[in-house]
Structure 1
Amino acid sequence: MLSTKRAKSVEVRSKPGRIYTVLTTLGREIAQGIIPAGAVLPPECDLESRLGVGRGVIREAIKTLSGKGLVSVRPRHGTRVLPRRDWSLLDRDVLNWLVGQENPDRELLLAVQEVRSIIEPAAAALAATRATKTDLLRINAALTAMEASDSQATATAADKAFHLAILDATHNPVLQGFRGAIDTILSAVFVVAVDSVDGWFDGNLPNHATIARAIEERDATKARDAMEQVLGYTQTHLSKPKAGTRRRAGRTGAGRTLSQT
């Protein structure tokens, strides 16, 4: 009896993990076109056998996919994959499935950059009028970390912290709702950037510093303009074709091959 209770307890605790694993597997296959738009997912019994989970796990994962706009569930018609236009493209999971790959979709990255160019300059301007002392400390700490970064990992983390701190400094809950999307897209942009032109990181650093100063000086116009410069710099380089050889992130003598977004 005791062993049975323990087994059930382990099953209950591990079920969310199994649901997320199935969700991620199916989500990636849909996002990458392995299961194309218009296709019907295999029957639940086939998915159970293939993925090694129970029917309840399969149903919960499909319910979440439906909530993210990837599939439509209709009785007697099965679970059908919807076209990309119906997907929640700013959802953290969906974006990660689409661009969190070794070879991200550059066209999608450019599309998201366009959205960033609408949102983030306005966010920087709002931050200049609303940032608290704590917000300013976070923004400047992130800038300092960017200046001190010596690897792709530290540069990515610092750059994310900088942009997310500015979103938070708007104190607008709707704008803060874009945190997950921007966090995910910055990681993908770095993957592409490392394969592109040298000098992105150093070349765009002064623009980031200008944003931080403008917010501290409460100059909304200057903050907006500087953020437009940051995003325009990234947009230009993302539009360039991929380099023939992959460059490693890190310092190289007096320069760096890191990218900055």
Structure 2
Amino acid sequence: MSQAHGMRKGAKPGKIGAMVAALGAAIVRGEIAPGAVLPPEHELEAHYRVGRSVVREAMKTLTAKGLVSVRPRHGTHVRPAQDWMLLDSDVLGWVRTGGGLDRSLLLALEETRAIIEPAAAALAAQRATPEDVWRINAALAAMDDGQFNPQAAIAADKAFHLAILEATHNPVLRSFRGAIDAILSAIFDITVGVFTGNLPNHAAVARAIEARDAKQAREAMEVLLGYTYGHLLSDGAITPPDLKKSIFGETP
């Protein structure tokens, strides 16, 4: 959702974005504890050197992202981590840079990819246009060329997965683009070291989509994601007890 949507006259998008980013990051880093009440409007105005309209629009945005709740006569409260909108690219970005992206959350993100991306690959095999296929293959070629350059490899890998999402021509799946982009950024930070070993699996997905074989495309994407998931599980930092712990508390 655009921060400018429904914006009051006089509110400045740049100032709203800066305030949202500052407060959002502070909440995610734990500098403002869950359940805490944010200072009243006039104090926030003074602290961030903004007008009331900026404060109110920033609170609306943070509310939509699940970070705060506004209750009349009770103030603005910080919500617990389990209420955060983690498919919001801003929220996931703050978690990632704030030191809260532990291995259990990485595994949860990879599980989310496993729900979305195999089905997307199957749809892409059925619906991809020649231009879609070209973009997927171009990203695959860029992955191969950049496999020894981590920054280039990550950019090409993201382009590959996002091109497949676009090739579904499903507007709802396409709306996940920002979330998948943020998830991929988080995952690739950890898995870039095994990038080269997963290249053949990417090629298999591309070939299946080009051949319009939906079943093979789905299965190839499952193998690709399984490779990444296996790497995360094999990481020495992950032990069975750790899988139950994260910034979101104990999992069932």
Call closer, same or farther: CA 1:130–1:160 in 2, change over 3 Å.
Answer: same
CA deviation after TM superposition for structure 1 residue 54, in Å = 2.0
CA offset at residue 101 of structure 1? 4.4
Partner-residue secondary structure (3-state), 1:94: helix
CA contact (8 A) 1:100 1:188 kept: no
Give the superposition deviation at 1:155.
1.0
CA RMSD of aligned residues (A): 2.0
Query: In 1, Cα distance between the equivalents of 2:101 and 2:80?
Result: 19
Residue 111 of structure 1 is aligned with which of 102, 108, 111? Answer: 108
Structure 1 match to 2:130: 133
Alignment partner of 1:216 is 2:214: no
Q: Any residues of structure 2 matched to 1:97-246 within 5 Å, and which?
A: 97-101=94-98, 104-149=101-146, 150-193=148-191, 198=193, 200-239=194-233, 240-242=235-237
TM-score (norm 2): 0.85
Which residue type is aligned with residue 241 of structure 1?
A: G
TM-score by length of 1: 0.82
Larger Rg: 1
Residue 57 of structure 2: which of 53, 57, 60 is its match? 60
| Shift, 1:127, TM fit | 0.6
Contact 1:100 1:187 in 2 (8 A): no
For 1:23 and 1:128, the matched residues in 2 are separated by 40
How many angstroms apart in 1 are the aligned matches of 2:165 and 2:45? 42
Amino acid in the other structure paired with 1:159: D
Task: Provide the residue aligned with 2:16 in structure 1.
Answer: 19
Distance 2:69 2:149 in 1: 43
Show the counterpart of 1:256.
none
| Helix, strand or coil at the partner of 1:73 | strand
- Gaps of at least 5 residues in structure 1 are 1-11, 244-261
Post-superposition offset of 1:189: 1.6
2:137–2:206 contact (8 Å) kept in structure 1: yes
The CA distance in 2 between the partners of 1:54 and 1:192, in whole Å, is 41
Deviation for aligned residue 1:106: 2.4
Give the deviation of 1:86 after TM superposition.
2.3
